[in-house]
């Protein structure tokens, strides 16, 4: 085992998380990865570590959705590869504390000398609702009014008579004339510019 000669960030590369999942329970593996990513010093405190990075490769097609989702919750950056060696697409998902997750896509190809040829990428896009691991806030939590009526409020609402409501009392008062009630009449005197020809009501228009 190599000993560290100075402090600084450390990256631990695991070439097959799938092999570890076949030999260890998923809970033990998740707890170990979480402890490694939050480790800031050696056991003997002789060489402190600024930050510990864990890089792991997982074949999703070999496992069910449970272990894949459990390991995904631990990752701050998740890269999903698809396509062939000549034309491969990488979907990169970034998770930051107290921020919305962002993602971008990167096209690349693998050259014969195993170097990467980056062909293009899309800009970072914010996805407020794409990460299922971030709890969603209830929009009705901090309202200053009630969305539901109480029993007393419902009774008061039902007993209220609106001013524009045509009630039966108003209808009877309009239909039944009392004794001595004056009758209204409308007197109309035709104007010189009135057009009373119903056969051609638009005759006076200059079209």
The chain-wide mean pLDDT, for the chain, equals: 75
Work out the average pLDDT over 44-64: 73
Q: b or e along 83-93 (b: 16 or more beta carbons within 10 Å of the residue's beta carbon)?
A: eeeeebebebb
For residue 53, count other CB atoms closer than 10 A to its CB: 13
pLDDT at 50 over 50: yes
Question: Under a CB-based contact definition with an 8 Å cutoff, are residues 132 and 126 in contact?
Answer: no
Secondary structure of residue 87 in the 3-state scheme? coil
pLDDT at 143 over 80: no
pLDDT in tens, 175-206: 775 555 567 778 888 777 776 666 766 666 76
Q: What's 6's DSSP letter?
A: S
Q: What is the rounded CA–CA span in Å between residue 2 and residue 199? A: 107
pLDDT at 10 over 60: yes
How deeply is 109 buried, as exposed, middle or buried, from its count of CB atoms within 10 A (0-12, 13-18, 19+)? middle
Fold classified for 76-131: N-terminal domain of TfIIb (2.20.25)
Q: What is the rounded CA–CA span in Å between residue 190 and residue 47? A: 107
pLDDT in tens, 70-121: 888 888 888 888 877 567 888 888 888 777 888 888 888 878 888 888 877 6
Q: What is the rounded CA–CA span in Å between residue 193 and residue 22? A: 98
CATH 2.20.25, the chain: domain bounds:
76-131
Of all helices (H) and strands (E), which one includes residue 96?
Answer: none
Secondary structure of residue 38 in the 3-state scheme? coil
Task: Provide the pLDDT confidence category of residue 14 given band limits of 50, 70 and 90.
Answer: confident
pLDDT at 59 over 50: yes
Work out the average pLDDT over 117-142: 62
Considering only residues 195 and 148, tell me which one the structure prediction assigns the higher pLDDT: 148
The conformational region for residue 45 under phi > 0 = left, psi -120 to 50 = alpha, else beta, is: left
Give the per-residue pLDDT at 95.
83
Question: Under a CB-based contact definition with an 8 Å cutoff, are residues 71 and 64 in contact?
Answer: no
For residue 58, count other CB atoms closer than 10 A to its CB: 20
């Amino acid at each position: 085992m190599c000993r560290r000669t100075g402090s600084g960030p450390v990256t631990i590369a695991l070439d097959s998380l799938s092999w570890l999942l076949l030999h260890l329970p998923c809970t033990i593996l998740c707890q170990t990865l979480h402890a490694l990513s939050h480790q800031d010093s050696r056991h003997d405190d002789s060489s402190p570590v600024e930050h510990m990075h864990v890089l792991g490769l997982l074949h999703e097609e070999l496992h069910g959705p449970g272990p894949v989702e459990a390991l995904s919750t631990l990752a701050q950056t998740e890269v999903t590869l698809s396509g062939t060696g000549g034309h491969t697409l990488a979907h990169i998902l970034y998770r930051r504390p107290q921020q919305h997750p962002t993602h971008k896509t990167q096209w690349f190809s693998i050259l014969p000398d195993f170097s990467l040829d980056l062909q293009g990428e899309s800009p970072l896009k914010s996805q407020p609702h794409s990460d299922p691991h971030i709890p969603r806030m209830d929009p009705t939590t901090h309202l200053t009014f009630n969305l539901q009526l109480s029993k007393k409020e419902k009774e008061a609402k039902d007993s209220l008579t609106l001013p524009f409501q045509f009630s039966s009392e108003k209808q009877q008062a309009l239909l039944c004339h009392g004794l001595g009630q004056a009758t209204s009449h409308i007197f109309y005197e035709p104007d010189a510019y009135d057009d009373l020809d119903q056969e051609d009501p638009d005759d006076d228009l200059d079209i």
